[in-house]
Structures are given as structure tokens and as C-alpha cells.
Structure 1
Amino acid sequence: MKCPNCSSTNIGKIGVNQFYCWDCFIELALEDGKLSLNQVEEDGSLTLLDDLFQSSELEAKANGF
């Protein structure tokens, strides 16, 4: 399993269909066959990063999970 943002394999599971990249601090959630990416901010809030990737990319990368 690789991070779609930085290609790191340093990914941990934090919940059901939820993962975390320890290298670029991105939370990944698998929802309905599509990845959703969020950046974890210093205050713990999440910033959606899906707009940085095309829909087809997120669906293709979800198949790797």
C-alpha cells in the first residue's frame, strides 16, 4: 500500500477503512470505492485534499487498498 500523495509505504490503519501516512501527515479514507484525502492540521482539524486529484485517480488508487 502506497500513499497517493507522497508514494510512501509508511501507512498505518487508524480505523475501519481509514489510514494515515506518517510521512506526509495525510489521512486517507476509503468510501464507496473512492479514496478521500485529508490533511491533518495542527489543531486536529481536517482539510479536504480531494480537489488536488482527479476523480479517476482517486478511484484507481482506491483499488490498491
Structure 2
Amino acid sequence: MSTTGTSKYKSEYARGYEAHGKAEALVMILEARGLMLSEGNRARILECTDQDELDIWLKQAAFVAVADDLFR
């Protein structure tokens, strides 16, 4: 099996595990920046399985003034 760095060849389990890791990293980044997360926003992030959306949020996490801005 070829590995190309894309999720094309990963199992459903592996994609879910990777998404969960990104979600946890996002929460850690926001907390390290001192941004408050509501329980709803925290749940939204941790329940997200869309890696493309998580990637966008991770990039935005460095620049948003408040956590709510991630979802705009």
C-alpha cells in the first residue's frame, strides 16, 4: 500500500483519531493564548470530525481575538 501523506489511504478509524488530535491541539492553543472557550464551543471543536474545517480553525487560532471568531 502506498502512503502519500493524504487521508485517502487511511482507515476511518485513523482519520477519526487524527481529527480528534487536531481538535485537542486546537483547544490547547486557544487555552494557551488565554482565550475563553464556552462549553458549547469546546464541544463543537472536540466533536468535529471534518479535518478540513479543523485545519482552518487551527490556522485561525493564532489570530482570533476571541474564540467565537473561529466560527465566523
Q: Structure 2 length as normaliser, TM-score?
A: 0.25
More helix by share: 2
Larger radius of gyration: 2
